[in-house]
Amino acid sequence: MPRLFFALVALIHAAAFAATPPSPERIAEAAVRLGVPRDYASVRELSSVHEPRRLVSIGGRDALGYEQRLTPAAARAWTRMREAAARDGVELRAVSSFRSIQVQSAIVRGKLAHGQTLDAVLRVNTAPGYSEHHSGRAIDITTPGYAPVEEEFERSPAFAWLMKNARSYDFSLSYPRGNPHGLAYEPWHWCWQGDDSEDAPVETQLAANLDPPAGVH
């Protein structure tokens, strides 16, 4: 995701939230109408991703000014990982966390409207309904001194720390070079793979019951 990602979403996010969010099924059909092939998932070896029923705040705002949120268990793991990195002198910052299916659809439409081809868009963004960000488990990470969501992050001490330690907190690098999904290399994108069954809610709710980690801006 190049810097253009944030500029495009900033232009279209108001329209994206203007109406009641459509169902995942309607979003999938909208993706097909955008030109996303019906065999996209099988060809790209991607599974559909459902939005969580419960999210909690991890502190701070994303590039669009929205509250950063993850599932409760993923948020706890992120907090533990950030604190461990801080003890080693490494600062991890969240750039982007939960992203709705509707916003993902708006991202694709915005890039197409700005003249990008669908093939080019789908090399750096998953089609609506297939982004790990929908799950509330994925987080884009940066560190001071490095541009957000750019490959230069791989040269940072933060990336080196994550490669060595992230698995201990059940985070994994989703899109390494040569990944089978046909997606661009994203050294900043990490997804929590732990078990959050104990957090399954009785009813739909949004919660913000975690204190933000120190240093989140």
Is the per-residue pLDDT at 22 higher than 70?
A: no
d(CA 44, CA 36) in angstroms, rounded, equals 12
pLDDT at site 20: 52
Architecture of domain 4-36+52-199: 2-Layer Sandwich (3.30)
Backbone angles phi, psi at 200, to 5 degrees: -60, 125
DSSP state of 119: H
pLDDT at site 21: 55
User: Residue 169 corresponds to which tokens in the numbers above?
Assistant: 């907190």
Q: How many CA atoms lie within 13 A of 94 on its CB side?
A: 33
What residue segments make up the domains of the chain, in order of their start?
4-36+52-199
Is the per-residue pLDDT at 215 higher than 60?
A: no
pLDDT at site 204: 35
DSSP state of 149: T
Each residue's pLDDT tens digit, 35-72: 999 889 899 999 889 899 999 999 999 876 779 999 99
Each residue's pLDDT tens digit, 92-107: 999 999 999 888 888 8
Pairing of strands 67-70, 93-96: unpaired
The reported pTM is 0.80
d(CA 100, CA 105) in angstroms, rounded, equals 9
User: Which residues is 94 bridged to in the sheet?
Assistant: 141
Each residue's pLDDT tens digit, 123-151: 999 999 899 999 999 999 999 999 999 99
pLDDT at site 12: 45
